[in-house]
Amino acid sequence: MASSIIILHQSEIVRKGLASMVSTLWKKEIIQIADLNQFPDRDFCRKCNLLVFAETSLADEVLDLAENSNIETVLITANNQSTSGELESLRCVNLYSDISLLKGIVDDFIKNEPESTAGENDLTQREKEILRLVAMGYSNKEIADSLFISIHTVITHRKNITGKLGIKSISGLTVYAIINRLIDPAQIDLEKFI
């Protein structure tokens, strides 16, 4: 699942300033928008993990959108502005906040990202299982038999794995599997497989 940070504020100075601070903490996408019309549609929101920094006056609408999706909202408040009602429970940053407050927020967001985005290029569980067997030196036929699937399906999975990782050779896949702790190097004879 992809993750993005959205900054929603009418003021360009606030948007750009906040974005430049956040970009030191967050290497993925930062979307800057001035009003709700530019907000990604519900479909996109459901498919993504979003952290939205929203101007307080627009927060109600964002909370509406946030229902049933993975949107976490942080308010951008004016100095000393207090919040009430539903907004009270939300975290806030204001124009005088320093980087450490932002870092806390972004770090929490990163921590809560689904595990699959942690650099494994979104291999599915099935693909990981097959990769593990390939790396341990099993043939397509053996893999098909042990997982009760057809050889054709194994080949399709292998194509997808190679496409996602950019690694084709069996020894290359073995190195990948060990680096990513999919297999324990003690399980295989390294000299033979690599």
Partner 1 sequence: MKLFAAEDKLSRVVTDNYHLLPVINRFGIRLGFGDATIGEICSERNIPVSFFLVIINAFHHPDYFPKSEFLKFSPKLIVDYLRHTHQYYLSWVVPKMERQLENLVESSEANAEDLKLIILFFRKYKSELLYHIKDEEDSVFPYVLRVTSAFEDGVPLTREDYGKSIETYEKEHSDVDEKMTDLKNLVIKFLKADYNDNLCNDFLITLFRFERDLIDHARIEDKILVPMIARIEKMLKNGQ
Query: Does residue 184 belong to the site contacting partner 1 (CB under 8 A)?
Result: no
Nearer to partner 1, 36 or 175 (CB): 175
The site for partner 1, by CB under 8 A, has a size of 18
Nearer to partner 1, 16 or 168 (CB): 168
Query: Does residue 171 belong to the site contacting partner 1 (CB under 8 A)?
Result: yes
Task: Please identify which residue in 19, 172, 183, 188 interacts with partner 1, judged by CB under 8 A.
Answer: 172
Q: Which residues contact 4 (CB under 8 A, 6 or more apart)?
A: 28, 29, 30, 31, 48, 49, 50, 51
| Stretch of 26-34, 100-108, 146-154, 184-192 lying at the interface with partner 1 (CB under 8 A) | 184-192
Task: Please identify which residue in 48, 63, 175, 188 interacts with partner 1, judged by CB under 8 A.
Answer: 175
Query: Does residue 194 belong to the site contacting partner 1 (CB under 8 A)?
Result: yes
Q: Give me the numbers of helices (H) and strands (E) for the chain, helices first please.
A: 9, 5
Shortest Å, Cβ 22 to partner 1: 24
Query: Does residue 166 belong to the site contacting partner 1 (CB under 8 A)?
Result: yes
CB 91 within 8 A of CB 44: no
Query: Does residue 179 belong to the site contacting partner 1 (CB under 8 A)?
Result: yes
CB 70 within 8 A of CB 58: no
- Subset of residues 104 to 123 that bind partner 1, contact rule: CB under 8 A: 119, 121
CA dihedral (154, 156, 159, 161) in degrees, to 10, reads -70
Shortest Å, Cβ 120 to partner 1: 9
Q: Give me the residues that bind partner 1 (CB under 8 A), please.
A: 119, 121, 165-169, 171-172, 175-176, 178-180, 185, 190-191, 194
